[in-house]
Amino acid sequence: MTGFASAQTRTASGELVVELRSVNHRHLELLFKLPDELRALEPQLRERLTSAIKRGKLDVSIRIRLENEAAMRAPEINVELLDALFAQCENGWPDHELGSLAEWMRVPGVLKAAQSDTEKLSAAALACFSKALAELKDARLREGGKTRDVIDERVRSLSKSIEELELQLPSMKAAVIQRIRARLTDVGLEIDAGRFEQELVIQLQRSDVDEEIERLKLHIVELKRLLTSAEPVGRRLDFLLQELNREANTLGSKAQDIRSTNVAVDLKVLLEQIREQIQNLE
């Protein structure tokens, strides 16, 4: 979700510069810093951003570098109004003294503050903003591609760990049986077939992780699918990581073999690494 983009263009008012900065954020947060002349554009800019970007904290800055600020801010004389007032005085009050130019300048509306062509300036700002936004989206896509490659590597490690655990399940179950038999022998009790079978069933149920492994595999399939999606998937990946962590925790709690414990720890480390990377995705 991080990225930076800028665009500039020449206008009658001076050079217009648009800068967009994006950093990671759980939701979409937009901050605008606009000149007074372009303040009315904020709703339109906000609409364009929310249509193009779904997640991240974005700072939008638009600046106008004035080339001749003093000249641009000099007052203008409303010549049309002044001519109309002169004409009225000459026609309606022929004997009325027109007075000095300074007095006429004090008539409301004769002097007006210089204004840039707001319509043209707004159009230039929107065009420049569109260029910067396209550049920002490209930057975020490039970063997303690199992040996806890192996550893909971790996902492959997840799948490998689970596959290795599956291969070891038969020997782990055999170890449980041997451990129970050894305990009964150590205490000098004669092994009753019925009692032994009952104890065996209880222990195997406690250590059975087949269901957790199947769920982990299904979640990984969904994880891979989301990583190839063209739609924003950051929040869905967040939820999926929570489910994967839950299964990894259950796997660890059921572990009665060091191999199963080690796999559970490896899974949690990999899932945490994936979670950190997902924060960079939209």
pLDDT in tens, 203-240: 666 667 888 889 999 999 999 998 888 777 878 888 89
Q: Using alpha carbons, list the distances in angstroms from residue 181 to 168, 193, 194.
A: 20, 11, 13
- DSSP letter at 67 equals S
Per-residue model confidence (pLDDT) at position 158: 93
Distance between CA 87 and CA 94 in Å, rounded? 10
For residues 167-175, average pLDDT: 82
Whether residue 161 has pLDDT greater than 80: yes
Q: What is the pLDDT of residues 237-252, one digit of tens each?
A: 888 999 999 999 988 8
Q: How confident is the model at residue 113 (pLDDT cuts 50, 70, 90)?
A: very low
Q: What percent of the chain has pLDDT over 90?
A: 31
- With beta carbons less than 8 A apart as the criterion, state whether 20 and 53 touch: no
Q: Which pLDDT value is given to residue 20?
A: 95
Task: Report whether pLDDT(111) > 90.
Answer: no
- B/e letters for 214-248, b = 16+ CB within 10 Å, e = fewer, are ebbeebbeebeebbeeeeebbeebeebbeebbebb
**List of domains in the chain:** 3-68+122-137 (3.30.230.10), 75-112 (no CATH), 142-278 (no CATH)
> 145: pLDDT confidence band, cut at 50, 70 and 90?
confident
In which band, very low, low, confident or very high, does the pLDDT at 182 lie, cut at 50, 70 and 90?
confident
3-state percent helix, strand, coil for the chain, nearest multiple of 5: 65, 15, 20
Residue 7: both structure tokens together: 């665009």
Global pTM? Answer: 0.62
* Nearest CA-CA partner of 55 in 235, 246, 256, 277: 235
**How confident is the model at residue 188, as a pLDDT?**
63
The mean pLDDT value of the chain amounts to 81
Asked if 13 contacts 116 with a C-beta cutoff of 8 angstroms, the reply is yes
